[in-house]
Amino acid sequence: MTRTRWIWLILAGLYGLFFSWYTSFGGPLTEEEIEHYMALVESREPAPSPERLAMLRKFMEEDTGDDFVMVNVIDMYDTPLQIEGVEPGETSDEVLARYMEYMTPALFARACHPVIYGQAASAAMDIMNADGMEAWSTGAGMRYRSRRDMLEISSDPAFAGSHEFKVAAMRKTIAFPIDPWMQLGDPRLVLALLLGMIGCALSWREASRNP
């Protein structure tokens, strides 16, 4: 096999590994999975309200099997709540970082990552029928590979303990999923173009060496 073919084979293998990690192939949640996750949520203390349980069931039953984005708007405490594990003098950002110690590796393992993140540049500039929702400090959009992945992360026992740090750091937050969604820079497309350019450049170099 020529060097050029080896180059394209290696690049195709790298892309295949990335694509298989980044893409959900599990399809929509099955009825058995839905009942499994509902049982986990219902066993929590304190128990979620019937309205919240109904909302979660609907979210699972309408699963598309594809990725989705959780839109988050966040208002951080100036000083975090002094719960167990929060040291005097710590900032809310430092406390939230404790929460992310669990979340970051759990998210990365399932190809979940922010697609947008930033600090608020102003109070809400357009607000309707939402009194008290003017002040926010951060906005973010988190891409989840699938609803199954999100449920796996949130149902892990390690999540329950770390979630207390989120509560201590955030004064208020709103999060809702969008699905379907779109973006102009899907990493699968960007990587395919990048590897294609690398392959063409290396193939051209090999061809110039061996006319």
Average pLDDT, the chain: 93
- Confidence label for 189 from pLDDT (cuts 50, 70 and 90): very high
Q: How far apart are CA 25 and CA 34, in angstroms?
A: 17
Q: Which pTM does this prediction carry?
A: 0.90
Lowest mean pLDDT among 110-114, 180-184, 187-191: 180-184
60, two tokens: 């699972």
- Confidence label for 211 from pLDDT (cuts 50, 70 and 90): low
Give residue-wise pLDDT tens across range 98-140.
899 889 999 999 999 999 999 999 999 999 999 889 999 999 9
Q: How far apart are CA 206 and CA 2, in angstroms?
A: 10
pLDDT of residue 80: 94
Residue 95, C-beta contacts closer than 8 angstroms, at least 6 positions apart? 80, 86, 165, 168, 169
Give residue-wise pLDDT tens across range 46-104.
889 999 999 999 999 999 999 999 999 999 999 999 988 898 899 999 999 989 988 99
pLDDT of residue 206: 86
Residue 1, C-beta contacts closer than 8 angstroms, at least 6 positions apart? 9
Domains for the chain: give ranges and CATH numbers: 67-179 (3.30.70.100)
